[in-house]
């Protein structure tokens, strides 16, 4: 098995575990602090992502790409230089940004957000920044060496700590007010990040091939060329993420003010935004662990192929990734669409958010494609084009949200439609940009077969949910329906030739079973 497939497989397993744990976290959070508390948490969370993006400066992708190339040359001196320069940058930025966030939190909560209670979750974000600064560099280092196991395990540890702490923390602070409970939830994330960093540092110490602290500042001083090479990738990459983070930062602000224009009071606006982003969106985002895994593995794999001018391998990797996203994303879409109401009821004890899932699920295939496509652009030194595409999508999304959400006829539905328009547009632009650089064959018949398999499997699952075990517990009904859709979909993919036997043989455990 190639490093690319092995790394992707490790990240897929870890991503699935992480997403499931993350979902458990969301369920515990929702049941602990309620819709209003989730709304406060989700209003502050985009700020967290924004300051993390600034602190990282797009370096994880640049580190991964440059270390992959240095590893191919066996240039360990350059690898150390990349790490030293990257750590100096990210730690320096975290030292500046952390106190800035603490000082600006009162202004952000009272001026930009319509709910001043967001002050407490915003304050709880700050301690995470120095931790993330170091851990992001170490993750980039391991990914560049195509060793995905440390990154994967660190993510699982982070989620496990968050879940372990969240229930106790929110219960302790809830009597003081929902805003304190939301801040405690944010604090649980900080502790998760800390344990994740400790694990990464331990693994780095065990596996490193050089002494990082030896002549640290001399390497910083001599790292001007390395700094320049990192920035050539990091700045456009950060630009893309900054655009997305800024758009997400302004999203709750635009939604809150738009709903106010539509006649929705602040408390109700917080609850509606919580239902959309705290209930529906995490479920829709759950399958994106496939996207993240592929994107992370694609950057070093395609960077290596690109440095060797192996364009056939680049197309082959891209075809592999997009085909896998289509097949796995298709199953996710039909399960979410058919079982939206019962899934919401099981997880949150409420069907609020189910409407958004049915509205958005069919379009989320475009979102699942976005990560791998952006990774390909970054690996091909087209990060600047990816940044421009993200900017266009962010501007259009924000405009659509404001235009629609401010209309009483649309309300919060306008925000959902704006989000859809944004990621569909960015995915389309990314794909068009890739086609300018990489030759790509379209297998239209395969897509037609895929959609037929989705439709038939969805009908099967819906019929079983409505007619089988109707008097049994909801868990049994949902499980039976979801399992039937998975089996029917997998069977149809095999029958229609969308999954081949030789491809299954490459997968660990399954391959051994088929061979036997």
Per-residue pLDDT of the chain (516 residues; tens, 9 = 90+): 556 666 667 777 777 787 778 778 877 887 788 777 887 887 788 788 888 888 888 788 888 888 888 877 777 778 888 888 888 888 898 999 899 888 888 887 777 776 788 888 888 888 888 998 899 889 888 888 778 788 888 888 888 888 888 878 888 888 888 888 888 888 888 888 899 999 998 888 887 665 666 666 666 666 677 888 788 878 877 776 777 777 777 787 788 778 888 877 766 777 777 778 778 888 888 777 777 777 777 777 787 787 777 888 888 888 888 888 898 899 999 999 999 999 988 877 778 788 899 999 999 999 999 988 988 888 888 878 888 898 899 899 989 999 998 888 888 889 899 999 999 999 999 999 988 888 778 788 989 999 999 999 999 999 999 888 788 888 999 999 999 999 999 999 989 988 766 555 555 444 443 343
Check residue 114 and give its pLDDT: 63
The alpha-helical segments, DSSP class H, found in 108-175 are 119-125, 128-144, 149-173
Cα end-to-end span (Å), the chain? 18
Pick from 381, 244, 247, 367: which is nearest to 302 by CA? 381
Check residue 503 and give its pLDDT: 55
Check residue 219 and give its pLDDT: 61
Check residue 3 and give its pLDDT: 61
Check residue 453 and give its pLDDT: 94
- C-alpha span between 72 and 84 (Å, rounded): 19
Check residue 211 and give its pLDDT: 64
Domain assignment present for 452: no
- For the chain, the domain total comes to 1
Check residue 462 and give its pLDDT: 93
Token couple for 86: 């990257």
Token couple for 474: 């909801």
Residue-range definition of the domain harbouring residue 26: 3-441
- C-alpha span between 501 and 514 (Å, rounded): 8
Domain assignment present for 510: no
The model's pTM is: 0.68
Check residue 509 and give its pLDDT: 41
Pick from 125, 61, 58, 115: which is nearest to 90 by CA? 58
Could you count the other beta carbons within 10 Å of the beta carbon of residue 512? Answer: 10
* Phi, psi (degrees; rounded to nearest 5) at 58: 70, 10
Domain assignment present for 456: no
Domain assignment present for 499: no
Question: Are 336 and 359 spatial neighbours (Cβ–Cβ below 8 Å)?
Answer: no
273-310 burial, b if ≥16 CB within 10 A, otherwise e?
bbbbbbbbbbbbbbbbbbbbbbbbbbbbbbbbbbeeee
Domain assignment present for 515: no
* Phi, psi (degrees; rounded to nearest 5) at 500: -110, 155
Check residue 514 and give its pLDDT: 37
Check residue 512 and give its pLDDT: 44
- To the nearest 10°, the Cα dihedral for 396, 399, 400, 406? 170
> Residue 386: helix, strand or coil by DSSP?
helix
Domain assignment present for 503: no
Check residue 431 and give its pLDDT: 92
Could you count the other beta carbons within 10 Å of the beta carbon of residue 175? Answer: 8
Burial of 390 (0-12, 13-18, 19+ CB in 10 A): buried
> Residue 132: helix, strand or coil by DSSP?
helix
Domain assignment present for 55: yes
Domain assignment present for 129: yes
Check residue 429 and give its pLDDT: 95
């Amino acid at each position: 098995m190639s490093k690319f497939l092995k790394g992707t497989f490790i990240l897929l397993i870890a991503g699935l575990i992480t997403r499931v744990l993350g979902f458990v976290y969301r369920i515990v959070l929702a049941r602990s602090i309620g819709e209003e508390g989730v709304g406060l948490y989700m209003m502050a969370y985009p700020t967290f992502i924004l300051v993390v993006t600034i602190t990282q400066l797009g370096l994880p992708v640049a580190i991964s790409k440059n270390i992959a190339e240095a590893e191919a040359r066996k240039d360990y001196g350059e690898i150390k230089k990349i790490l030293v320069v990257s750590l100096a940058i990210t730690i320096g930025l975290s030292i500046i940004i952390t106190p800035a966030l603490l000082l600006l939190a009162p202004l952000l909560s009272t001026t930009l957000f319509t709910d001043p209670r967001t002050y407490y979750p915003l304050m709880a974000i700050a301690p995470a920044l120095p931790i993330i600064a170091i851990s992001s560099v170490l993750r980039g280092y391991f990914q560049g060496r195509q060793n995905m196991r440390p990154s994967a395990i660190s993510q699982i540890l982070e989620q496990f700590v968050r879940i372990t702490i969240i229930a106790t923390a929110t219960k302790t602070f809830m009597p003081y007010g929902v805003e304190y409970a939301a801040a405690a939830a944010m604090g649980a994330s900080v502790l998760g990040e800390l344990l994740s960093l400790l694990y990464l540092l331990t693994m780095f110490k065990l596996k490193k091939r050089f002494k990082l602290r030896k002549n640290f500042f001399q390497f910083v001083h001599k790292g001007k060329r390395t700094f320049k090479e990192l920035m050539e990738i990091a700045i456009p990459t950060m630009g893309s993420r900054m655009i997305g983070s800024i758009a997400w930062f302004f999203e709750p602000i635009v939604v809150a003010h738009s709903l106010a224009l539509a006649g929705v009071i602040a408390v109700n606006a917080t609850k509606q935004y919580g239902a959309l982003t705290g209930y529906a969106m995490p479920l829709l985002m759950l399958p994106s662990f496939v996207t993240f895994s592929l994107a992370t593995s694609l950057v070093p794999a395609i960077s290596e192929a690109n440095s060797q001018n192996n364009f056939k391998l680049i197309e082959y990797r891209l075809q592999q990734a997009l085909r896998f996203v289509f097949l796995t994303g298709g199953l996710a879409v039909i399960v979410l669409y058919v079982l939206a109401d019962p899934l919401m009821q099981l997880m949150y004890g409420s069907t609020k958010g189910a409407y958004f899932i049915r509205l958005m699920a069919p379009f989320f295939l475009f979102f699942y494609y976005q990560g791998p496509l952006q990774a390909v652009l970054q690996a091909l030194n087209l990060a600047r084009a990816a940044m421009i595409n993200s900017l266009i999508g962010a501007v259009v999304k924000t405009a659509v949200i404001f235009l629609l959400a401010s209309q009483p006829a649309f309300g919060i539905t306008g925000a959902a439609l704006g989000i859809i328009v944004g990621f569909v547009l960015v995915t389309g632009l990314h794909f068009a940009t890739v086609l300018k650089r990489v030759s790509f064959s379209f297998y239209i018949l395969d897509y037609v077969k895929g959609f037929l398999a989705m439709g038939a499997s969805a009908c099967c699952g819906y019929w079983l949910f409505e007619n089988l075990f109707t008097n049994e517990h909801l868990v049994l009904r949902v499980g039976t329906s979801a399992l039937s859709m998975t089996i029917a979909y997998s069977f149809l993919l095999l029958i229609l030739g969308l999954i081949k036997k030789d491809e299954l043989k490459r997968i660990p455990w399954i391959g051994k079973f088929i061979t036997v």
